[in-house]
Amino acid sequence: MKVELLKLLREKKDFISGQELSRSLGVSRTAIWKQMQALRKAGYRINAVPHRGYELCESPDVYSGEEIKSRLGTKWLGRELFFYETTDSTNLRAKEYGDNEGKAGALFISEFQERGRGRRGRDWECPTGAGIIFSVLLRPEILPEKAPSLTLVMALSAANAIRDTLHLDVRIKWPNDLLINKKKICGILTEMSCERDYIHHVVIGVGINVNQREIPPELNKSATSLFLESSKKTDRTALLNGVLERFEKNYEVFMETGDLIKLKDEYERLLYNVGKPVRITGKMDIKEGQREDNNDDFFEAEALGITNTGELMVRTSDGNTINVNAGEVSVRGLEGYAS
């Protein structure tokens, strides 16, 4: 009932009587009063005036399942929402739910992860109360080889939501990181359960550094937070909902064609790598023109853009253009993380 009550208070934008709330929610006025007390304990500022009713004064520091859901503007994404103060990993929770026939669009959010992971098995940590950590469960009817493109759909959605909210120059470092001033503020991890030609489910996990006032010394050359870049505290619920609303729209656009053809231009406008030299590390097979290598070290090239399926197009020193798959390699700047 808290979610519905918060929605009614916000929609009114003025005092609303206990009687009207009671009638709208189908509960007694005593039940309404008890819920108001519970909301106040949770941090909401609510005015109560005799003969006028209740008025909600916004409290941007409140970050909870009820707050997020009451402000969510999506059609289907997040209609099922699970909020944890602490969990091992939101991706693990989403995969477990997916394995047990959970519905597509389910959303898993946590204040703290004990076993947060980034791409290629790296650890990922965020202090309690400072970041945005969430995973979404999807069941796209596409071939498994197209699923990695969803990482790019989420990156585009998160970048635009941050740009709209804070007016910061956020860039995408292909395939799964967001940068401000060459430092990482967001990472994305996409995992899939599938058979050869069928996807059971896809889970996309996102971690955004939001209100951290400092970054550990060992990371401060490569990572930052929205607070450090803007000198402002961000309403995490508003930003999260912005990301989710953007992603829902972009996901629907992606599913119209099953590729990035309608999102490619917008993605490339924000792509940090374009026109820059990159070092491609990892094992991959290259079969393009006269070139055929099996390289398990690295090579250098110039990034050109992305394909409709989300691969990074690069031009090698011998003039060949090849496509790099995110599942095979890691791309770095020649002089560091995002040089």
Both 104 and 213 in one domain: the answer is: yes
Q: Which residues constitute the domain of residue 25?
A: 2-57
Q: Over range 122-135, report the average pLDDT.
A: 76
Query: 């099996």: which residue's tokens?
Result: 294
Both 122 and 82 in one domain: the answer is: yes
Neighbours of 195 (CB within 10 A): 8
Both 149 and 298 in one domain: the answer is: no
Both 96 and 245 in one domain: the answer is: yes
Measured CA to CA, the distance from residue 304 to residue 289 in angstroms comes to: 17
How many domains is the chain built from? 3
> 294 or 261, which is more confident?
261
Of the candidates 222, 253, 269, which is a domain's last residue?
Answer: 269
Both 88 and 233 in one domain: the answer is: yes
Stated as kind and residue range, the H or E segment containing 34 is: helix 29-41
Assess if residue 338 is contained within a domain: no
Both 40 and 146 in one domain: the answer is: no
Both 244 and 292 in one domain: the answer is: no
Percent of the chain with pLDDT over 90: 69
Question: What CATH number is associated with residue 176?
Answer: 3.30.930.10
Both 210 and 301 in one domain: the answer is: no
Of the candidates 11, 26, 57, which is a domain's last residue?
Answer: 57
Residue 105 has what pLDDT?
A: 98
Assess if residue 142 is contained within a domain: yes
Question: What CATH number is associated with residue 41?
Answer: 1.10.10.10
Assess if residue 70 is contained within a domain: yes
CB 126 within 8 A of CB 113: yes
Both 120 and 229 in one domain: the answer is: yes
Summarised one tens digit per residue, pLDDT across range 161-206 is 999 999 999 999 998 899 999 999 999 999 999 999 999 999 999 9
For the chain, the residue count is 339
Q: Band of the pLDDT at 125, cuts 50, 70, 90?
A: low
pLDDT at 142 over 70: yes
Residue 11 has what pLDDT?
A: 85
For residue 290, list its beta bridge partners: none
Residue 231 has what pLDDT?
A: 95
Q: Over range 54-72, report the average pLDDT.
A: 86
Assess if residue 162 is contained within a domain: yes
Measured CA to CA, the distance from residue 192 to residue 99 in angstroms comes to: 11
Question: What CATH number is associated with residue 323?
Answer: 2.30.30
E strands present in 105-196: 107-113, 131-138, 171-173, 177-180, 183-195
Measured CA to CA, the distance from residue 305 to residue 108 in angstroms comes to: 32
Assess if residue 195 is contained within a domain: yes
Both 264 and 308 in one domain: the answer is: no
Assess if residue 301 is contained within a domain: yes
Both 82 and 35 in one domain: the answer is: no
The pTM (predicted TM-score) of the whole model is 0.86
Summarised one tens digit per residue, pLDDT across range 28-53 is 999 999 999 999 888 888 999 998 99
Of the candidates 269, 286, 309, which is a domain's last residue?
Answer: 269
Residue 120 has what pLDDT?
A: 46
> Which of these, 82, 95, 84, 86, lies nearest to 113 by C-alpha position?
86
Both 27 and 113 in one domain: the answer is: no
Assess if residue 205 is contained within a domain: yes
Q: Write the DSSP string, 67-125.
A: HHHHH---SSTTSSEEEEEEES-HHHHHHHHHHTTPPTT-EEEEEEESS-B-GGG-B--
> 331 or 141, which is more confident?
141
